[in-house]
Chains A and B, each alone.
Chain A
Amino acid sequence: MSLNRADIENIARLARLELTETEIPVYVDSLSRIFAFVGELDRAPTAGISPMAHPLPGLAQRLRPDEVAESDHRELYQRNAPQVEAGLYVVPKVIE
């Protein structure tokens, strides 16, 4: 299967990735190759086979009680934030 420039631009938009002019043709080529390769799966006999949901047979995702387990770490966590003010994360204005 072959992808074109518009496909790559659309995927990049969905993924919130800004690509440069030089990157676009590289991904047109490599993603086309990847999907041609992945196309091999079409010949697998999967009729009646259920999709695998967990790598260990018989195990499902465990749930925990909805209880407070940790104290507030806001100050500590915000040390890694690019921009904070009064304990809030600062981003460009969303609503005028």
Chain B
Amino acid sequence: MSLPAAPAATVAELVRGLAAKQFSSVELTRAYLARVAAAQPELNAFITVTGEAALAAAARADADRAAGRGGPLTGVPLAHKDIFCTEGVLTTCGSKMLANFVSPYDATVVAGLRQAGTVMLGKLNMDEFAMGSSNETSYFGPVRNPWDTARVPGGSSGGSAAAVAARIAPAATATDTGGSIRQPAALCGVTGIKPTYGRVSRYGMIAFASSLDQGGLITVSAEDAALLLGPMSGFDPRDSTSVDSPVPDYTATLTASLEGLTIGLVKEFFDDGLDAECGARIREAIAVLEKQGAKVREVSCPNLPLSVPTYYVVAPAECSSNLARFDGVRFGHRCESPKNLNDLYSRSRGEGFGAEVKRRIMTGTYVLSAGYYDAYYLKAQRVRQLISADFARAFGECDLLLGPTSPTPAFRIGDKCDDPITMYLNDIYTIGANLAGLPGMSLPCGFVGGLPVGLQLIGPHFSEARMLNAAHRYQMETDWHLRVPAAFA
């Protein structure tokens, strides 16, 4: 397969090139749409490509620039995870349930990035309702990892990660409930950021587990993430958990010195489950940060090993409530010739949801049901408090935490489908940050057997600027994030 050349390596380069009139937005958009079309049969990263609308938006962006309007991002193409509602465009959430749902409105994230002048190429494939760690639960078929198309890209933002890794989209939005930005970013060798809970509005982001869901980005570099995070962040009166605090200019502090920064290595992250070669890549990355002046010390979060079982009570509980809205009445899939109202509900839901979504709804229904609520749900929320307290204690001793993103590199499609627990354990290092509402990042830090490895940073609440700074300094010294899989170069 040969793809038309990518116009630039990063969003930062696109921003400079557009400003210098090296290329127009229409030219860029055409080039990326051509790459999308060429790669789609291999990767299946997109569910919907909005080519015509993209070219029209690009032409408007060019006109704006010619008239001296717009900002630095005006005319930059990107793609949205299909969990974000986009007005007048199919929004499926990777599910048969929403296979014909045309959203009547835009998510705040989508509106914010459009306001900033970005051009949407289309909607990206994902695990159904963001429930999965391999992108194998999508109703629209699995996404393939550009580094090895027999392997998974991770999930649930697998389309976002694969698209950015293959450079068929310069950047992509994504969401993270238990690792769904960071784990696919790690497995595809790209940069991912999950901001602090409440930083990015959840309005128009189809809900999975509302106390954990957070929108963010998958990009080539930390600098690209810094450029795009501002316009999608900030207070939104339409999200009751949106936090009203000012959004800093994330690009302003990217190059600040790391002298005086203390990084905590979380002891529990370097456990028996971590692939030894992946562990070696992480240790090499630590040495790079130390050379930049960062101090490194070991810290412990003793309750962190309980984060996966805690998550598999809390997240399904919230999922079972959120997905109760899909009733076959107002929108979404409806069964043929329902006998009565109960039959309408049960068959529409039974047919419209895939196997993993049904598993999570049932798990959640059970933990919230009479007689089990205290034993499961309240117990899990108590453990969640312990895990949060562990993090708070650790941040008394250091500024950022560091560890691996995922215990192994990308696994083969089909390898972990038989046992849900094996699949759930892919997120063992990422779930903690969601439970505590903390921001996290994954950065490419090398390869094992030709497959990318991700380094994870976790910061205190609202420390995105500091995290992006450390990530950017690391990427100034390394070029792992600039590596492109040969087939898509």
Q: Name A residues whose Cβ lies closer than 8 Å to a Cβ of B.
A: 8, 11-12, 14-20, 23, 26-27, 30-31, 33-35, 37-42, 44-46, 49-57, 59, 61-64, 73, 76-77, 79-83, 89, 91-94
Contacts and interface: CB of A to CB of B under 8 A. Distances in A.
A17 B339 contact: no
Contacts of A62: 240-241
B382 A14 contact: no
Interface in B293-351: 303, 306, 308-310, 312-313, 320, 324, 327-332, 334, 338-347, 349-351
B359 A89 contact: no
Contacts of B421: 33-34, 37
A49 to B, nearest CB: 5
B303 A17 contact: no
Nearest to A81: B330
A92 B334 CA distance: 12
A80 B359 contact: no
23 contacts: A12-B362, A14-B365, A15-B365, A17-B349, A30-B420, A38-B312, A38-B380, A45-B386, A46-B386, A49-B385, A50-B385, A51-B382, A54-B241, A55-B388, A56-B437, A59-B241, A77-B104, A80-B101, A80-B102, A80-B331, A91-B341, A92-B338, A92-B343
A41 B310 contact: yes
A56 B136 CA distance: 32
> B324, B332, B385, B434 — which one has the most chain A CB atoms within 10 A of its CB?
B385
Interface in B128-165: none
> B327, B366, B436 — which one has the most chain A CB atoms within 10 A of its CB?
B366
Contacts of A20: 350
B197 A41 contact: no
Nearest to B437: A55
B341 A17 contact: no
B349 to A, nearest CB: 5
A77 B103 CA distance: 9
A31 B369 CA distance: 15
B8 interface: no
Contacts of A73: 104
Contacts of B331: 77, 80-82
A11 B369 contact: yes
Given A11-B365, A56-B198, 9 more contacts: A11-B366, A17-B349, A18-B346, A31-B359, A41-B309, A41-B376, A41-B380, A44-B383, A57-B392
A12 B240 CA distance: 31
Contacts of A46: 379, 382-383, 385-386
B345 to A, nearest CB: 4
A44 B437 CA distance: 21
A-B pairs with the 8 shortest C-beta distances? A55-B437, A51-B381, A18-B350, A82-B334, A46-B382, A80-B331, A18-B346, A15-B365
Interface in B340-379: 340-347, 349-351, 353, 355, 358-359, 361-363, 365-366, 369, 376, 378-379
A17 B350 contact: yes
